[in-house]
A and B are shown apart, each in its own frame.
Chain A
Amino acid sequence: MRSILIALIGFMSHQIMAQTFDENIAFVNYLNVNRNYEQSLFLLNKMKSTTSSRTDSLNFFVGKTYYLDQQLQNASDFFDKVQDTSLPFWNESVFFNAFSKLNIEHYSEAEKLLKENSFESNLLKSLKDFELAGSHLLRRDFVTFDYISTNFSQNYFQFSQQEKSLISIREDLRNHKSKSPLLAGIFSAVVPGTGRIYAGKTGLGLGTLITSVIFGLQTWEGYRKDGVESARFIIFGSLFSIFYVGNIWGSVYTIKIANEEFNEAVNHKILVDLHIPLRTVFN
């Protein structure tokens, strides 16, 4: 029994070397399809320690695995290490790297990477324009987006819909008016809670209004029955004042959050549009 165990361990220790590089990569792909990224990365790291050559290929597959696992900073770091432009997956590496950089808001690096590389096929040339346009839209650089998007041909089924979608988002952004924090503050000063309703947070605004009314009425009651020096008036008056001022500041802050949420939602939509063609073109 012991000898069988030792033989088995010996056999397994040579497994990684016994497998050809392509066999290992096919196995990595199987692991990735099954979303078994931990095992995939483990195997790729083992391959690195036993394979002196083909490091570019390994870096690409590590980057791709991180990309599939949505660890996009790590993905970009490994795609950056791929240097050999003659590799069959060089183009894929460039586009996935650029997309990873866009996700982590490294827009300039993504654009530089795309601009530095030229592609032979018209499909990839158009895809490059599409991704570059998307990057400028993420940055809200409308002038450059408008300029690049004139190249959108909508001839490629892989991203014709997404080209239309980016142009539609551009139109939405053109028509969108950001809400004013100053206006929200003024609204809340006049009628507590309305600044938050203006920000689109109706429930929060109504809640604030009701609470203000509760404190306000008790302050008025204390003043009416006991006068301005009464403990009841001072306590409820203080609570009302703190809440009133806090609500004005809160309304201004709510506008900032609402604007950020809007921008995040738009950026998410853009990134989805930029992502779909990559999966279609390179799978």
Chain B
Amino acid sequence: MDIGDYEYAAVEYERIVYNNPPPDVVNQALLKEGLCYKALTDYKLASSVLSRANLFLDQDSTNYVIRYEIALNSYLAEDYPSALSQLTQLEYFFKNNGYDKVLFLHILTLNALRRWEEAKEKYQEYVNVNEVELTVEEAYGFLNKTKIKDSEKAESLSYFLPGVGQMYAGYFGRGLLSGFLQAVFIGYGAYSLYEGYFFSGALTGVGLFWAFYSGGSRHAKYLAQKKNEELTAKYNEPIKEALLKRELSK
């Protein structure tokens, strides 16, 4: 086997599991197998392999590392709820015995889930024992003026007044265009009815208006969600950078 042949190594670690050794050896093998998949950047598979470990054995150093690796790989695979679940357990079992080393990941995970109030408290804990470039106020100052949108509200607004939901979501031009088109269709419908073209007015004018009206409202909801993702990245990025800079300097 060549050095760095992680795929082969993973198979051989699985063979150790297959040979049915004591539970602590199984856990060790699964840990190593998970690390192989992490090295191969298959974080989802790494997390899946690591999750097979028996974490109800002694809460020892191996257990700690496995939990940390599950949390890390889940985070990297963007499975934030699973990452948070492991981090919560790490906090419970290893509060005075290693939790401080995974605190940064806990903050990143809470940030990704937009649970910023909890993340802020954790960040305060982190800053208390680490020198970080970003103060708590600088990191979470956005909480006082957050621009996160309520996607349900965006949808409702567009039902109430076409185009306004898109404007609320931060897409003024799209809102204007949507509102204009719907005004044109309903205007055409009304004019046709007035002129005695009942079928054209009802079917084309009102029909197209209705299609754009309901579609526009759903689109407003989508735009609000899209904007929230952009804002989340914008808010979280400086915190992530500060934390990783500090962690990598250790």
- Enumerate chain A interface residues (CB-CB to B < 8 A): 9, 12-13, 15, 27, 30-31, 36, 39, 42-43, 46, 214, 217-218, 220-222, 225, 232, 236
Contact = CB atoms under 8 A, between A and B. Distances in A.
B172 interface: no
A221 B200 contact: yes
A31 B11 CA distance: 9
Contacts of A236: 200
Contacts of B15: 15, 27
Given A9-B3, A13-B1, A15-B12, A232 B18 contact: no
A12 B203 contact: no
Nearest to B203: A214
A42 B7 contact: yes
B14 interface: yes
Interface residues of B, number: 19
A12 B18 CA distance: 15
The B interface, classified by DSSP as helix, strand, loop or mixed, is: helix
27 contacts: A12-B9, A12-B12, A15-B1, A15-B12, A15-B15, A31-B14, A36-B14, A39-B11, A39-B14, A42-B7, A42-B8, A42-B11, A46-B8, A46-B11, A214-B199, A214-B203, A214-B207, A217-B203, A218-B197, A218-B199, A218-B200, A218-B203, A220-B199, A221-B199, A221-B200, A222-B200, A232-B200
- SS of A interface (majority): helix
B22 interface: no
A27 B8 CA distance: 14
Given A15-B1, A15-B12, A214-B199, 7 more contacts: A31-B14, A36-B14, A39-B10, A39-B11, A42-B11, A218-B199, A236-B200
Given A15-B15, A31-B14, A221 B197 contact: yes
A236 B205 CA distance: 13
B18 A27 contact: yes
B147 to A, nearest CB: 42
Interface string B1-40: 1010001111110110010000000000000000000000
List of 10 A-B pairs having minimum Cβ-Cβ separation, nearest first: A13-B1, A217-B199, A221-B199, A214-B203, A218-B199, A39-B11, A30-B18, A218-B200, A12-B1, A12-B12
A218 B204 CA distance: 9
A225 B199 CA distance: 12
Nearest to A210: B203
